[in-house]
Amino acid sequence: MPKVRRVPMRLCVGCGQMKTKKELTRVVRTPEGFVDLDPTGKKSGRGAYLCRSAECLESALKGKRLEKALETPVSEEVVARLRQGITSGG
């Protein structure tokens, strides 16, 4: 009997839906305190996951859920980079 692989599931901080890790974009706060997109999903640091839609990003920012998940304030410069990365499929 073939072994069934477990698919990792993550929660989108924008819409609150559980989706497969591959469907989501990871935002990471590195140990140095820098917030950035993590396209590989393997950077070290505290991560939060978002759907690849502008609506989820805006919802996460409006409710400060992204800041709570990363445990750090997110600057406007970082938000602009996130918007660019999410909309370009990053």
Domain of 81 in residue numbering reads as 10-87
Above 60 in pLDDT, residue 90?
no
Among candidate residues 48, 55, 56, the one with its CA nearest the CA of residue 14: 56
CATH code, domain with 39:
3.30.1230.10
Residue 5 lies in a domain: no
pLDDT digits (tens, 9 = 90+) for 11-52: 999 999 999 999 999 999 999 999 988 888 899 999 999 998
How many structural domains comprise the chain? 1
Above 90 in pLDDT, residue 88?
no
Residue 3 lies in a domain: no
Beta bridge mates, 27? 37, 48
Mean pLDDT of 74-85: 86
Residue 2 lies in a domain: no
Q: Compute the distance between CA of residue 33 and CA of residue 21 in angstroms, rounded to an integer.
A: 23
pLDDT score at 85: 80
Average pLDDT, whole number, for the chain? Answer: 90
